[in-house]
Every structure is written in structure tokens, then in C-alpha cells.
Amino acid sequence: MAGMRHDLAGRSLMHGLMFKATEGYVMANHGADLWARVTQAAGVPFDRFHSMRSYDPDLMVALMAAISHELGRSPPAVMEDIGHWICVHPPLDGVRRLIRFGGPSFEDLILSLDDMRDRVRMALPDLDLPKHRVRELGDGEYEIDSEYWMLGVSAVTTGMLRAMSDDYGTLAVIRVKTYGCIDGVWHETVSVSVVDPDFQAPRDFRLSGAA
């Protein structure tokens, strides 16, 4: 789900933005008391993350396990909700706007996922997102392959695309198709079927200012 970098000692670290997003999702939707229980169960020695710091990626795995336990839901279900929340939570509107720059239509956005990683790293060089590869199958059918060290990228992608299809006014069926681990790398695939690109009026979007 989140970006990683390597420090000078070669240890893998995860960007604090992803921890802050997870914290924000829990706090906004389930409250400070549940977040306190999550951090305690995950063995986090503090109650707040900082967006511009980096952390041990094992903490993210522990957080997801603790959140899932508290909510009685699977980690992929939680991660899908986080992906959706990132795109619809008003204080994070900059994220939605960044994604909307992927193209004027939802299908353009899907195709832009191939270079999303590089575009984000132009602004945040330390934020190493999963690798995506989009396959256009024709007739509004797409498959999005991802590679990452942690299981769940496809769930986050599904949540984000679900939010953005609404943003574009597009009716689409989005689901996780396959996943598997090879040599410590998770390979996951999301399938997207665009049913009606003009299902409803899209949300207003301008190059600058509020939308």
C-alpha cells in the first residue's frame, strides 16, 4: 500500500505519508479511542505519525492486522476503504486533484496508471509507490497489474478507482482478479469493466482553485 525507500545502511523504510493516511482514516471514521487501541496492539511506541518521516514497514503490517481485528474485517477490506477515503476526504482533495490530472475521462485515468509512480515521485522523490502495468483488452475492459512487497495494493487500487469512477461520473465494475507472491514480491491484478462512461454528471474539476 505504501512507499518505501532505503536509508544509507540499506534498511528498507516506509514513507510517513502512508502511515499518516492510515492514522487519518481510523481517526476520522472510528475515533481516537480505537486508534489508541490499534497503536497499542501494533506495538507502536507513540500515538501519532509524522508525514515527512520514514518508518519500519513492519509497523504497517502490524497496524493493518490491529485495525482489521478491531473492526472485524479483513485487511484487504480495510485497505480498500482507505484507498477510497483518500480520494473523497475533503482535507485530502489535493490527492483527488493529482489523480484527475491523469486524463479527462475515467478510461484515460486508468491508462495513466502506468506512469503514476513516476509522476508522484517528481513531487515526492522518497515516495516509492507500487509498479503498475495497464492492459487494455478492448470494449472498456482493462486489467491493472501491480508489483509490491506487501499484499493489498490491489485493494487500495480498487478503492481509489471506485471513488474516481464516481468522480468522473462513470459506471464501472472494479474487482480484484488475482494475486500471488513470487520471491517476496506480491503480484496482483485488478480488472475494470467500464459499463457506462457517462452514467451521471462528473464532479467539477478545474486546473486551479477549489473543485
Q: Report if residue 170 sits inside a domain.
A: yes
Calculate Rg over the CA atoms of the chain: 17
Q: Which of 45, 73, 101 is the last residue of a domain?
A: 73
Question: pTM of the full predicted structure?
Answer: 0.86
Could you tell me if 176 and 89 lie in one domain? yes
Could you tell me if 8 and 50 lie in one domain? yes
pLDDT at site 4: 35
pLDDT at site 57: 87
pLDDT at site 12: 60
Q: In sequence order, what are the residues at sequence separation of 6 or more whose Cβ sits closer than 8 angstroms to the Cβ of residue 209? A: none
Could you tell me if 93 and 173 lie in one domain? yes
Structural domain boundaries, residue 142: 83-196
Residue 90 is part of a domain; what is its CATH number? 3.90.1520.10
Handedness of CA 86, 148, 124, 204 (dihedral sign): negative
pLDDT at site 128: 72
Question: For the chain, where are the E strands, in sequence order?
Answer: 4-6, 12-15, 54-55, 131-138, 141-148, 171-182, 185-196
pLDDT at site 6: 32
pLDDT at site 30: 97
pLDDT at site 211: 47
pLDDT at site 210: 46
Q: Report if residue 122 sits inside a domain.
A: yes
pLDDT < 70 stretches in the chain: 1-12, 206-211
How far apart are the two ends of the chain, measured CA to CA in Å? Answer: 27
Could you tell me if 51 and 139 lie in one domain? no
Q: Report if residue 8 sits inside a domain.
A: yes
pLDDT at site 134: 97
